[in-house]
Every structure is written in C-alpha cells, then in structure tokens.
Amino acid sequence: MAEITSLAYAGFGVSDLDKWQWFATDILGMQVSQRDAGGLSLRMDEYKQRFFLEENSCDDLLVAGWQLDCEDELEEFVAELREKGVEVSLLPAETLKRRMVEKAYSCSDPNGFNHEFFFGHSIALLQDPFRSTVLKGRFVTGELGIGHLLPFAKNGPETVRFYRDVLKLKVSDYIREEIMPGVTVDATFFHTKTGRHHSIATAQAPAPKILNHFMVQSEDIDDVGQAYDRCIAAGIPIVMELGHHPNDRTFSFYAQTPSGFNFEFGWGGVVIDDAHWEVRSYSQLSDWGHKRNPVV
C-alpha cells in the first residue's frame, strides 16, 4: 500500500521577496539555493529546495509537497486518488524543474491550495553542504520532512476526511480548547509513515489567510532561544511566547512572517511509532507558556 513518506517541501506566494530572503536566512537560518525573476528557493539540508517562494500578492500558502519513496509508489498512490474521484494532474517539465523533482502530480485542497505528490528530489553536491549563517546546530529534516503546516479549514469535517481518507494521513491526536468564552479551537493533527508527530494539522476558523503557521524544528534547544532573541532584536512581532505543547511535546515560540501568517520555531518533537501510539484528545494547546500577544 503506497503511503506518503513526508512533507518534503512547501511553497508560498509572497509580495516582498527581498524581505523574505533576509527573514529566511538571517532570522530562521535557512540558505538561499537560487533566486531568479520567478522566485526564491531555500535549503534546510542537503535537499536543493525545501521551501520555494513565488512573487505573489496573496502572501499565503500555495503548495504542500508530499514525498513518496519511488515512482511505483507514486503511481500507485495517484491511481488510488483517481479511484476516489480526485482530479489529479501531472506536473509539466518546466514546473518539475522549478520543484527540483523527477516526477510529480497535483490536486486541489478543499481549502484553496494545492497538494503535490512526487518522487526523486534533487540533492546538492557534496562540496556544497548546507550552511546557515545563524544556526548553532541543524534543522531536523531528513525522512521527517520540513516540519509542519497548519492551514485553516473552511469546513472542518470535510478537511479531516480529505486528509485522513483521501491522502491516507494518520490521525495523531486532537486538541479542543476554549480559548475565550464561546470560542473553541478544534484541531486535528496528522502524521505520515515516518512519524513526525504532525506534518499537517487543521482547525476550522474564519480567517483572511489559508495558512495559520508553518513550523521548523532545530536539533539544538539553544537555537530556539537564539531565534527568539533575533526576532526581538529585529522587531518581529512575537505571536506566542516560549512554551510547550502537551501533544507533540515541542518547546517553541510563534512569530509573524513578512507575509502576515505565522511561523513556529521548535525543538524536541515526538516521533510516532504507530505500533505503540495511543490517539488522545487534549483540552489545552499548551501545558505551559505560549502566552498570546496581540499583533497589529
């Protein structure tokens, strides 16, 4: 049975490429892979591209890129999607070149962005290792992928069914918390076969943007604190201060990107072993910290 391995890349439409290049390298610690008139490619490891940015006034999520192990698994997965009535398109050669993959297909999400399924990522030359100008350690990537995305759902039950029954992602757990009188966050978290606690999560909410936040994870806890300090020094709005999640056990903070959606910078997330994992429902997003700050 073909399964998604990881969330291997993500694409954003951004209105200010220059500001994003500064933010991605000097604040987050990524490395520019290439930049041209069409956009910007960013590295986090030996992959030539983990995030791509296209000049676009939407300032929002465009693409979630899901990796499968080989061409046979990709074709089997796409055939299953079509059997479920999903319209899937083969990406043309020019798009494959920009994605830096061998073969990929695309389908639409119920919430307004695309999912791409691929195999055959491009690897940088051995003499060109990943270099960050600010990180003490490295990002946690590899078979676990880039981190995670939390796009908002226009229709929560429909979105959960799509991720669970169509994409065959596995439910990790749920969080249902009343964050203010009469307002409850109802979030569902999903993982792939390699087990990062969640590669995508969803919660229904009225919002101007699709994407609430993306998350990157560091190997060294010091990098969380240093990234927090860089945000403070640069005047980047802190959305949620340092804190800890009870479900994925990540220590992190949240701040605002140049596009207005948020990012989470974390350390210490759980890797799920399905044979010994119990799906639970939590009543709080954070067991300590993560104080919310108003962002203008």
- Structural domain boundaries in the chain: 6-121, 142-289
Give one word for 195, left, alpha or beta, with left for phi > 0 and alpha for psi -120 to 50.
left
pTM of the shown model: 0.96
Question: Cα(136)–Cα(109) distance, rounded to whole angstroms?
Answer: 36
With cut-offs at 50, 70 and 90, classify the pLDDT of residue 179.
confident
CATH superfamily membership of 6-121: 2,3-Dihydroxybiphenyl 1,2-Dioxygenase, domain 1 (3.10.180.10)
Residue 241 near residue 223, CB atoms below 8 Å: no
Q: Which residues pair with 255 in a beta bridge?
A: 238, 263
Please provide the DSSP assignment of 93-146 as one string: HHHHHHHTEEEEEEEE-TTS-EEEEEEEE-B--TTS----SS-SS-B--GGG-S
pLDDT range class, residue 50, cuts 50, 70, 90: very high
Fold adopted by 142-289: 2,3-Dihydroxybiphenyl 1,2-Dioxygenase; domain 1 (3.10.180)
Predicted local confidence at residue 221, as pLDDT: 98
> Looking at residue 92, what is its pLDDT?
98
CA–CA gap between residue 205 and residue 154 (Å, rounded)? 7
What percent of the chain shows pLDDT beyond 90? 92
User: What pLDDT, in 10s, does the model give residues 60-95?
Assistant: 999 999 999 999 999 999 999 999 999 999 999 999
Within 8 A by CB and 6+ apart from 212, the residues are: 150, 151, 152, 203, 205, 261, 262
pLDDT computed for residue 206 by the predictor: 82
pLDDT tier at 296 (50, 70, 90 boundaries)? low
Is 227 within 8 Å of 137 (Cβ atoms)? no
The 3-class SS string of 176-243 reads EEEEECCEEEEEEEEECCCCECCCEEEEECCCCCCEEEEEEEECCHHHHHHHHHHHHHHCCCEEEEEE
238-267: per-residue pLDDT in tens? 999 999 999 999 999 999 999 999 999 999
Establish whether domains 6-121 and 142-289 are of one fold: yes
Q: Are 187 and 196 in contact (CB under 8 A)?
A: no
To the nearest whole number, what is the mean pLDDT of the chain?
Answer: 96
| Each residue's pLDDT tens digit, 148-173 | 999 999 999 999 999 999 999 999 99
Q: How far apart are CA 80 and CA 83, in angstroms?
A: 5
Q: Is the confidence at residue 130, as pLDDT, over 90?
A: yes
Mean pLDDT within 117-138: 95
Strand 51-55 versus strand 183-191 pairing type? unpaired
